């Protein structure tokens, strides 16, 4: 039986407490050939998210190039989510400084990585506002043919976590999300409805802390413990968003999914709302998305502990 080759992945993030665990999960995964990490302003601004990404890669002993990207959305103004992630973006958890960033711009590095790849071979993983991937594909649309799948933590069936209508990543750059949804490649969505099932409680943090591992696993537990309990869940804990998108690539059996038509609202008070036709009611709408519907949470947290425990 031929062993499956690791899938080439380009990962864009805005670390970000949940991005931190997602990036470590990707770095620890033999199933993933992580070819590039790009960084957006997103949660706390590029001046923080870039050094955070570098420190995360450094602590994990990663060798992947990290390239700075857009520090603001395509349109509209930059807004942050420091209330969740802390002003530093990692909940006050201090990591040793990482290696230097690779010079250049994310959109150029993404295009170069896609040009060097085989057709239908690359998975784009988006964990922040989709600005960098959108800039790359808008600049060189033909490169969409190198993309096998786009996996995004973005959107929601219903209420948002940034506005009543919109989830943060979608709300921060809806035009960028619209470009990805229209590019003709399948977009897998880890929405708030999915990530709410990856529910972090004090018990799950303690289980992570008790698992065998090194500095990354210990820091991951500290980072999770820094996130203020969410009023969305009665202050009982928080949803762990970004690692769900990476876990889909590692253990799809933990999920159920359904093909959907998805669009993003660009105007008015619902700007950034993802309109997901879960039950196929809009006749004739192209099924451009894969909605991740359920998650085996116990399996997810076991995967997280095992994989992060394997890091330095």
> Which helix or strand (DSSP H or E) is residue 195 part of?
helix 192-195
Name residues contacting Ca ion, limited to 278-307 (CB under 5 A).
none
Among 9, 10, 11, 16, binds Ca ion (CB under 5 A): 16
Query: Which range touches ligand RIB (CB under 6 A), out of 62-70, 143-151, 166-174, 215-223?
Result: 166-174
- HSE toward the beta carbon, residue 152, CA cutoff 13 A: 33
* Interstrand relation of 289-295 and 187-190 (parallel, antiparallel or unpaired): parallel
What x/- string results for residues 111 through 130 when contact with ligand RIB is judged by CB under 6 A? ----------------xx--
Question: What is the crossing angle of helices 17-27 and 46-59, to 10°?
Answer: 40
Interatomic CA distance for residues 199 and 56, integer angstroms: 23
241 is catalytic: yes
Shortest reach from residue 272's CB to ligand RIB, in Å: 11
* By CB under 6 A, residue 43 contacts ligand RIB: yes
* By CB under 6 A, residue 131 contacts ligand RIB: no
Shortest reach from residue 169's CB to Ca ion, in Å: 6
**Residue 306, exposed/middle/buried by CB under 10 A (0-12, 13-18, 19+)?**
middle
Name residues contacting ligand RIB, limited to 182-241 (CB under 6 A).
241
For tokens 């997103």, what's the residue?
A: 42
**CB-nearer residue toward ligand RIB: 19 or 222:** 19
Residues in contact with 245: Cβ distance below 8 Å, sequence separation at least 6, in sequence order: 22, 125, 126, 127, 151, 152, 153, 188, 190
Largest CA distance in the chain: 54
Name residues contacting ligand RIB, limited to 235-264 (CB under 6 A).
241-242
Name residues contacting Ca ion, limited to 221-250 (CB under 5 A).
242
* By CB under 5 A, residue 127 contacts Ca ion: yes
Q: Which residues carry out catalysis?
A: 241
| Footprint on this chain of Ca ion (rule: CB under 5 A) | 14, 16, 19, 127-128, 242
């Amino acid at each position: 039986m031929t062993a499956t080759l690791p899938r080439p992945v380009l990962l864009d993030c805005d670390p970000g407490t949940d991005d931190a665990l997602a990036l470590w999960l990707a770095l620890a995964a033999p199933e993933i050939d992580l070819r590039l990490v790009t960084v957006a302003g997103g949660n706390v601004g590029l001046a923080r998210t870039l050094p955070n990404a570098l420190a995360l890669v450094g602590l994990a002993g990663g060798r992947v190039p990290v390239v700075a990207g857009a520090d603001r959305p395509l349109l509209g103004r930059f807004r942050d989510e420091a209330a969740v992630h802390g002003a530093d973006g990692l909940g006050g958890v201090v990591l040793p400084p990482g290696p230097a960033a690779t010079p250049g711009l994310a959109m150029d590095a993404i295009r170069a990585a896609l040009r060097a790849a085989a057709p239908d071979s690359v998975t784009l993983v988006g964990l922040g506002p989709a600005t960098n991937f959108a800039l790359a594909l808008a600049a060189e649309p033909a490169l969409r043919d190198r993309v096998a799948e786009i996996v995004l933590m973005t959107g929601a069936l219903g209420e948002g976590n940034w506005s009543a209508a919109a989830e943060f990543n979608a709300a921060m750059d809806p035009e960028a999300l619209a470009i990805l949804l229209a590019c003709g490649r399948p977009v897998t969505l880890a929405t708030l409805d999915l990530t709410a099932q990856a529910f972090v409680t004090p018990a799950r943090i303690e289980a992570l802390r008790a698992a065998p591992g090194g500095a990354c696993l210990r820091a991951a537990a500290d980072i999770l413990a820094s996130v203020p309990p969410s009023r969305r869940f009665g202050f009982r804990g928080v949803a762990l968003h970004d690692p769900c998108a990476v876990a889909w690539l590692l253990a799809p059996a933990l999920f159920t999914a359904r093909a959907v038509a998805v669009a993003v609202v660009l105007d008015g008070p619902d700007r950034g709302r993802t309109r997901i036709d879960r039950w196929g009611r809009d006749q004739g709408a192209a099924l451009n998305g894969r909605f991740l519907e359920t998650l085996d949470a116990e399996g997810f947290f076991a995967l997280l502990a095992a994989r992060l425990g394997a890091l330095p």
